[in-house]
Amino acid sequence: MHTLNQLWNYYAQNYPYVWEEFYRHFLMSAYGVIFAAIVAIPVGILIARYARLSKWVISITNVIQTIPALAMLAVLMLVLGLGANTVVASLFLYSLLPIVRNTYTGIKGVDKALLESGRGMGMTKFQLLRMVELPLALSVIMAGLRTALVIAISIATIGAFIGGGGLGSIIIRGTNVADGTAIILAGAIPTAVMAVAADLVMGWLEKRLMPGKSKKKKSQAQAA
């Protein structure tokens, strides 16, 4: 009960600071995933076209994923210095694997009969990609983005050690005082809430983008 009172008092007294760090934390995570998506989705499409590249690319991104977060931040810090840019760069690297892998899986999973039908209608490769493959693979790609965002939110917490800010800075403050349990919770609870909310929202989008979902809703509306 004492800890809960301390937690409530901390939020009441430091609400602007907590909100600022929450917003900063989310932006770092979102930017890392967005930049990764800009690179990883085209790469995933490319390796789906050229199977020989897939093993190499996925192996490289797997290796990146196994590097401890603190080690990654330390290496990038030597090049980019302290601050949020280094955190975003590390989140970019950690987000590559789930997005590349899911894009590759989604494109490869498109029904070959549909592609043949498209070619029979005279579609170009770009038209097939834009009108057939990407719409059908979008829910799988979204699942990769969902995984990447949740991972990014958790790793961004460690970015406070190199001056990146975010909710991790509140947790670090709590570890540096004698009775800092409430302060640690003040940073940990919003981080958990952000991760759960991101997972739920991205999961909802993933379901909405599943092939046949929109057609099913249209048919239900027409029937009504």
Buried/exposed code over 191-208 (b: 16+ C-beta within 10 A; e: otherwise): beebbeebeeebeeebee
Kindly report the length of the chain: 224
Domain that holds residue 30: 18-212
Whether residue 218 lies inside any domain: the answer is no
The pLDDT of residue 131 is 87
Q: Determine, yes or no, domain membership for 104.
A: yes
Residue 56 contacts residue 63 (beta carbons within 8 Å): no
Residue 2 lies in a domain: no
Q: How far apart are CA 9 and CA 116, in angstroms?
A: 64
Domain total for the chain? 1
Q: Say if 1 falls within a structural domain.
A: no
Closest CA to 187 of 160, 172, 167: 167
Looking at residue 63, which CATH number applies to its domain? 1.10.3720.10
C-alpha torsion 71→88→197→205, nearest 10: -120
pLDDT tens for the chain, residues 1 to 224? 677 888 888 888 888 999 999 999 999 999 999 999 999 999 999 999 888 888 899 999 999 999 999 899 999 999 998 889 999 999 999 999 999 999 999 999 888 888 888 888 888 888 888 888 888 999 999 999 999 999 999 999 999 989 888 999 999 988 888 777 888 999 999 999 999 999 999 999 888 887 765 445 444 434 43
Predicted pLDDT of residue 218 = 44
